[in-house]
Amino acid sequence: MKKLLPTVRLSLITLWLISPSCLLAFSGDRGAWEPGLKNRPDILFFGGFESEPWTSSWGMAWGPDPLDHGTLLGGPDAFEGRSLRVKYLKDGFGPQAGFQFLTDLNKINIVPRESLYLRYYLRFEPGFDFVKGGKLPGLAGGKGNTGGHKPNGSDGWSARMMWRADGKIVQYVYHPDQPTEYGEDFVWDYGGCPRYFKPGRWYCVETYVQMNSPGKKDGIIRSWLDGDKALEVTNIRFRDIPTIKIDKLYVETFFGGGDASWSSPGEVYADFDNFVMASNYIGPEPGREPQAIARTSGATGSSAPTTGLLVFDGDHPEWSVSSWSDGIYDFKSRTENHTIGGGQSVRVELPDGKWGAVQFEGPAVNLSDYKKISLWVFPTSCNVEFRVRLESNGKQTGVEKAVTGARGWEIGRWNEVEIPLADFQAADSFNKIVLNSNSPKAVAPFYVDDLWLEK
């Protein structure tokens, strides 16, 4: 018996090394993992489109379909290494006008699970028209119900993400308690602020699904946008039987909707990269901060239009800046800055129950010389709103224009606001631009920088 002990110990070590739980950490693109994930034992899969062929590492049950709608993008336009570029057909809607495949988790050494995190990056091309909405990748189980097949508790479920009009983000969930035969929208509005996609920059999206106790409404969906929690639902019934679990990843994206009113008006594309599945929260890749929409750099180093007149940036205030009436204002705040190479902006805290304004004054400007006002706003909450008016020699000229987050502020980031000068219906000239309260109610503080008159 004593002579057998070393052999038994060796066998146990060998079995441990090749057990499925150990293999889990090597599913997907083995050589392309983000550095911050390589030493995490909770990472179950990484898909970065680096394998040859890239389809070999995804455990596909079917697809990709249509094959020629998905191409690999390299170079500086890729997120990292190679990204997947999906083509959406002009006047198209539905899966055949986009791109899709189904990953069977069993084929990538992930046994069906009670809970799972999914994270990936995506970017819509500049100028992308969201129309009425479209589908995005997400987790599923059982038959992975979609397409108007309402779950009955014993067949399956799905929890894809989706963009709606103007880029509004929702979780589109098929579950037995959905109100119609089609999936139910759960808006990404945790904290009271709806989240929106904007074309032209990369986003990190992550979602977590925890199955419910069979027959009970205690299933969970949590989602994050660029690391900020955007959704929490804690009362979902996915199933009535314990054999329905998380065992699928739908990688599919298309416009629709089931009729032509959802169609893309032109041939457009979106890019995807760095899919990760894990047993714990994943988060954005360290060092890859959310990207602002690119602007041309001017000679002063500010984010400047190609042609125009600089009215104000926090470091080079061409026009004088002052406040009017009540409120709290810091004209040289160093908390936030938009100007390339700069360090200052204006912090605005409009009063509660009163009126206030920040105003920029300079030499008279002919209205016909410029086409629009452009400024960058950094809101600290989704309730930020104000009105913009033009004045000439202390008197208002034309009408005021309201600026609100109705189409979705990106909270805690710089947002560009553009207003055509023709909308003000003003006289021939002005020498002051005023940002004043939209109503006598408090709004969260916000910052203003890089105000331009553009030609």
pLDDT, tens only, 248-258: 999 999 999 99
Task: Indicate which CATH number applies to the domain containing 333.
Answer: 2.60.120.430
Confidence of residue 426 (pLDDT cuts 50, 70, 90): very high
Tell me, what's the pLDDT at 271? Answer: 98
- For residue 344, CA distances in Å to 324, 336, 337, 350, 385 come to 21, 7, 5, 19, 21
Confidence of residue 207 (pLDDT cuts 50, 70, 90): very high
Neighbouring C-beta atoms of residue 437, cutoff 10 Å: 22
Confidence of residue 316 (pLDDT cuts 50, 70, 90): confident
- For residue 140, CA distances in Å to 83, 113, 119, 313 come to 23, 11, 14, 48
Domain count, the chain: 2
Tell me, what's the pLDDT at 220? Answer: 98
Whether residues 347 and 401 share a domain: the answer is yes
DSSP per residue, 243-311: T--B-EEEEEEEE-SSSGGG--SS-EEEEEEEEEEESS---SPTT-PPPPPP--B-TTSSB--SSEEEE
Whether 376 is covered by a domain: the verdict is yes
Confidence of residue 290 (pLDDT cuts 50, 70, 90): low
- Contacts of residue 166, Cβ cutoff 8 Å, sequence gap at least 6: 130, 196, 407, 408
Q: What is the CA radius of gyration of the chain?
A: 26
pLDDT, tens only, 71-124: 999 999 999 999 999 999 999 999 999 999 999 999 999 999 999 999 999 999
Whether 4 is covered by a domain: the verdict is no
- How many Å apart are CA 144 and CA 131, to the nearest integer? 26
Whether 414 is covered by a domain: the verdict is yes
Q: What is the mean pLDDT of residues 168-194?
A: 95
Q: Which of 261, 207, 251, 194 is nearest to 404 (CA)?
A: 194
> Is 301 a residue whose pLDDT tops 50?
no
Where is mean pLDDT largest: 1-10, 15-24, 319-328? 319-328
Range of the domain at 61: 27-278
Q: What is the mean pLDDT of residues 404-411?
A: 79
Tell me, what's the pLDDT at 305? Answer: 62
Q: Chain-wide mean pLDDT for the chain?
A: 89
Q: What is the mean pLDDT of residues 383-403?
A: 94
Whether residues 200 and 253 share a domain: the answer is yes
Helix (H, G, I), strand (E, B), or coil: what is residue 387?
strand
Whether 19 is covered by a domain: the verdict is no
Whether residues 251 and 382 share a domain: the answer is no
Higher-scoring residue by pLDDT: 51, 261: 261
| Beta-bridge mates of residue 426 | none
Whether residues 272 and 325 share a domain: the answer is no
Helix (H, G, I), strand (E, B), or coil: what is residue 389?
strand
> Is 171 a residue whose pLDDT tops 80?
yes
Residue 265: half-sphere exposure toward Cβ, Cα within 13 Å: 6
23: DSSP letter:
H
- What is the percent of the chain with per-residue pLDDT over 70, rounded to a whole number? 90
pLDDT, tens only, 174-183: 999 999 999 9
Q: Which of 43-47, 137-141, 336-340 has the lowest average pLDDT?
A: 336-340
165: DSSP letter:
G
Question: Six-digit token pair at 403?
Answer: 């600026």
- How many Å apart are CA 174 and CA 181, to the nearest integer? 9
Characterize the bridge pairing of strands 228-236 and 156-164. Answer: unpaired
pLDDT, tens only, 231-277: 999 999 999 999 999 999 999 999 999 999 999 999 999 999 999 99
> Is 3 a residue whose pLDDT tops 60?
no
Tell me the whole-structure pTM to 2 decimals. 0.79
Task: Indicate which CATH number applies to the domain containing 151.
Answer: 2.60.120.200
Tell me, what's the pLDDT at 21? Answer: 38
